[in-house]
C-alpha cells in the first residue's frame, strides 16, 4: 500500500481530532487548530493518506534542546486509524519524522510510550528503537489568571 505524507494544515483539524481521540487524547477541531498554530515554526505535524486519499494517521514531532543532553527530536504523538493499522502507515510516518529530524541537523528521535501500549512497543523495537528507561510522569494543574500562570 502506498502511503502519502504531507504536513498538516488547519483544514485537517477534524480528522486530527478524531485520530487524537483514537490515541486516547480527545480533542475537538478548534483545539486542534489552536494547537497547530502553536506548533508551527517549532515542530511538525505530518498526516498520512491511504491510496484512496483518506487520512489514516498523523505524527507530531518537536526538537528538544536540554542542558543535560544533546539535542533530539521528541515524537510527541503517532497514531494510525484503527482500520489502517498494519498497513505500513505507521512505519511511513516514522520514516518521515526521521527524515525531518535529519533535515533539522539532529541525530536522534526519542519516543515516550505508555507502558500499557505493548503493540506500540513492539512496533518501535521493529523500527530499530531501543528501550532506554521506564519512568513515572507527574503533572500538576496550575490555575491561570489573565493568561499568565
Query: Backbone phi, then psi, for 115, in 5-degree steps?
Result: -60, -20
The model's pLDDT over 47-94, given as tens digits with 9 standing for 90+, comes to 999 999 999 999 999 999 999 999 999 999 999 998 888 788 999 999
CATH architecture group of domain 4-126: 3-Layer(aba) Sandwich (3.40)
C-alpha dihedral (27, 32, 38, 44), degrees to nearest 10: 110
Tens digit of each residue's pLDDT (9 = 90 or more) over 83-137: 888 788 999 999 999 999 999 999 999 998 887 788 889 888 899 999 998 888 8
Listed by start position, the domains of the chain span 4-126
pLDDT at site 147: 61
For helices 29-39 and 13-23, give the axis angle rounded to 10 degrees: 100
How far is it, in rounded angstroms, from Cα 114 to Cα 124?
A: 13
User: What global pTM score does this model have?
Assistant: 0.87
Q: What pLDDT is stored for residue 60 in this prediction?
A: 97
Amino acid at each position: 500500500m502506498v502511503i502519502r505524507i504531507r504536513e498538516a494544515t488547519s483544514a485537517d483539524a477534524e480528522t486530527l481530532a478524531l485520530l487524537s481521540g483514537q490515541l486516547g487524547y480527545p480533542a475537538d477541531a478548534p483545539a486542534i487548530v489552536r494547537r497547530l498554530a502553536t506548533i508551527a515554526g517549532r515542530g511538525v505535524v505530518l498526516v498520512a493518506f491511504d491510496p484512496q486519499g483518506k487520512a489514516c494517521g498523523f505524527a507530531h514531532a518537536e526538537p528538544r534542546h536540554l542542558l543535560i543532553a544533546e539535542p533530539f527530536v521528541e515524537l510527541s504523538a503517532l497514531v494510525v486509524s484503527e482500520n489502517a493499522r498494519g498497513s505500513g502507515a505507521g512505519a511511513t510516518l516514522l520514516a518521515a519524522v526521521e527524515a525531518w529530524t535529519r533535515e533539522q541537523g539532529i541525530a536522534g528521535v526519542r519516543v515516550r510510550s505508555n507502558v500499557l501500549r505493548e503493540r506500540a512497543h513492539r512496533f518501535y523495537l521493529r523500527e530499530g528503537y531501543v528501550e532506554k528507561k521506564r519512568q513515572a510522569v507527574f503533572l500538576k494543574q496550575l490555575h491561570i489568571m489573565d493568561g499568565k500562570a
